[in-house]
Chain A
Amino acid sequence: MTSGGGAAAKRLTQALLVPVAVLALWEGLSRAGFINPLILPSPTNVALRWWGYLSPLKPYDAAEGPYLTWLVSGELLHDAAASLTRVFVGFLLGGGLGLGLGLLMGVSNTVYRLMNPLVQILRPIPPIAYIPLAILWFGLGNPPAFFLISLGAFFPILLNTIAGVRNVDAIYVRAARNLGAGGLVMFRRVILPAAAPHILTGIRVGYGVSFIVVIVAEMIAVNSGLGYRILEAREFFWPDKILAGMITIGVIGLGIDTALNRLSSHLLRWHRSLESS
């Protein structure tokens, strides 16, 4: 027990060593005046700014509403909620379509042969390249953002789902047929779970791309969200706020990826070689 605790403490120390050293160096150089705060503000300034970004804008006034509402009225939470809502809607749209088409293309050779050329032509175009078209088609606001984020989620999920379904080991299909399975039962209880490791990889990659695209879309098409806020901060020459926003984006991204990783480990707990994050 003691040795286990000691090993854990050692690992934690090793993990923190470099980040803490970098922060300390950065802070030290800033205080010594070697770094221009308009180029790179010190860590403490960024932290204070982050706290201000998180805190409510006005002092609490009971006449305006309940305490909890006031507590979450800060800019950061609104921006995070706006960004997450966009990712969520876009991811559901694009991921759902990608999963559906991927399953069809995986199961049916005819659909695969009909659709694959188009997919291969469109696949290498980065979602960012659709921005002018998105604005032309949907104007400004949420619709072009949803469109771009859906595109980001669509292709990784589509391609992984196709690969997953088409690579289902034939032995499972034979065993299931031998036991009397066919049609929908075969699809739901054999093909789908056998393809699940690939599909879940697609979902994680697709989410990652969606999260990149939401920040870019917010810099261009809308007036809220984390991406909009860091661009706005640049216009006011607030580098500390830019960094505070970037850190927020990083923390949220890490949080969602960890959650997806946990979910995938749980769903694939039967799998022989669990991929670790």
Chain B
Amino acid sequence: MSAPASPQILAEGVDKTFRSPDGQEVVALHGIDLAVTAGEFVCLLGPSGCGKSTLLNAIAGFSLPTAGTLLANGRPVTEPGPDRAMVFQEYALFPWMTVAKNIAFGLEIRGEARETIDRKVTELLDLLTLTEFANRFPKDLSGGMRQRVAIARVLALDAPILLMDEPFGALDALTRRNLQDEVLRIWTEFGKTILFVTHGIEESIYLADRVVVMTYRPGTVKAIVPVTLPRPRDTASPEFNALKRRLTALVMEEQRRHEEDEARTR
């Protein structure tokens, strides 16, 4: 046995406490331990309020943990950076830039040469079948197209880690499946490490090597379920459904706690 490679993302005892507007302390994350190895596809699954997006934002460097250790690419996370590229649910494309300009933005900031930028943008437009939309503005694109642009924009930076925050939550089922396949293709082709937040049980089984189920407030790791089914995965197979049943039971326990809590505060 060779020594295990150091994980690409490592969380040890991560806590995150917020102060809500009415002055109460809210423990969003408590004692999170998670190690994601290089090239792994991990889904964070749980109901709203389980802190899955909080964890993702902490790794992205947008809001740092209040306690614990958080390492990405072997370095402590202190601020946002292009080594941990984020795809947002709201797309977050710059509406004043064309599709091509959005994709080029990160490369321009990095100070790449014009020819390098143009070549890379052309490649990515081609990879995500966006070529004919290169000079359109985001307002002219459908939701699925926008999310393709957002993916192309982060791929341009060659980040080893992709953080995806419910990226397909706002899309219709068929577009979502299409983009899931796209992400799997990109993941296989480029060997990225992907941490993908979702509340879709089927989505997590379809995509992930491991599904991390989180508890509702405070957010902790409830269970880590490995998915070893060969890809492309058949969502109608008995094995897939067995996993689905197991994960549904785990998530629904937390969903009930979430609903009870909502009922109390109303």
Contact = CB atoms under 8 A, between A and B. Distances in A.
Interface of A: 171-172, 174-181, 185, 189-190, 193-194, 196, 269-272
B74 interface: no
Given A175-B88, A185-B109, A193 B96 contact: yes
A3 B62 CA distance: 57
A189 B95 contact: no
B60 interface: yes
Contact of A174 (B82, B84, B92, B154): B92
Contacts of B153: 179
A180 to B, nearest CB: 4
B33 interface: no
B97 to A, nearest CB: 8
B81 A180 contact: yes
Nearest to A179: B106
Nearest to B86: A178
Contacts of B95: 270-272
B109 A181 contact: yes
Given A269-B137, A270-B137, A180 B96 contact: no
Given A174-B62, A175-B88, A269-B137, A180 B94 contact: no
18 contacts: A172-B92, A174-B86, A175-B92, A178-B60, A178-B62, A178-B86, A179-B106, A179-B154, A179-B157, A180-B81, A181-B109, A193-B94, A196-B96, A270-B95, A270-B137, A271-B95, A271-B139, A272-B139
Contacts of A178: 60, 62, 80-82, 84-86
B105 interface: yes
A178 B105 CA distance: 11
* Size category, B interface: 20 to 34
Given A175-B86, A269-B137, A180 B92 contact: no
Nearest to B96: A193
Given A180-B106, A272-B139, A175 B96 contact: no
Interface in B133-189: 137-139, 153-154, 157
Given A178-B60, A179-B153, A172 B94 contact: yes
Majority secondary structure, B binding face: loop
Given A174-B62, A177-B80, A270-B137, A194 B92 contact: no
A181 B62 CA distance: 13
Given A171-B90, A174-B92, A196-B96, A179 B137 contact: no
Interface in B40-71: 60, 62
Given A178-B85, A179-B153, A194 B109 contact: no
Contacts of A272: 95, 139
Contacts of B246: none
Contacts of A180: 81-82, 106, 109-110, 157
- Max chain A CB contacts within 10 Å: which of B60, B80, B86, B153? B80
A175 B110 CA distance: 15
A185 B93 CA distance: 16
Contacts of A171: 88, 90, 92
A196 B90 CA distance: 21
A177 B157 CA distance: 13
Nearest to A274: B139
A101 B60 CA distance: 33
Contacts of B79: 177
Nearest to B110: A180
Given A177-B62, A194-B96, 19 more contacts: A172-B94, A174-B86, A175-B92, A176-B94, A178-B60, A178-B80, A178-B81, A178-B85, A179-B109, A179-B153, A179-B154, A179-B157, A180-B106, A193-B96, A194-B94, A269-B137, A270-B138, A270-B139, A272-B95
A176 B153 CA distance: 11
Interface string B96-112: 11000000011001100
Contacts of B93: 175
A174 B80 contact: yes
Contacts of A194: 94, 96
A172 B153 CA distance: 13
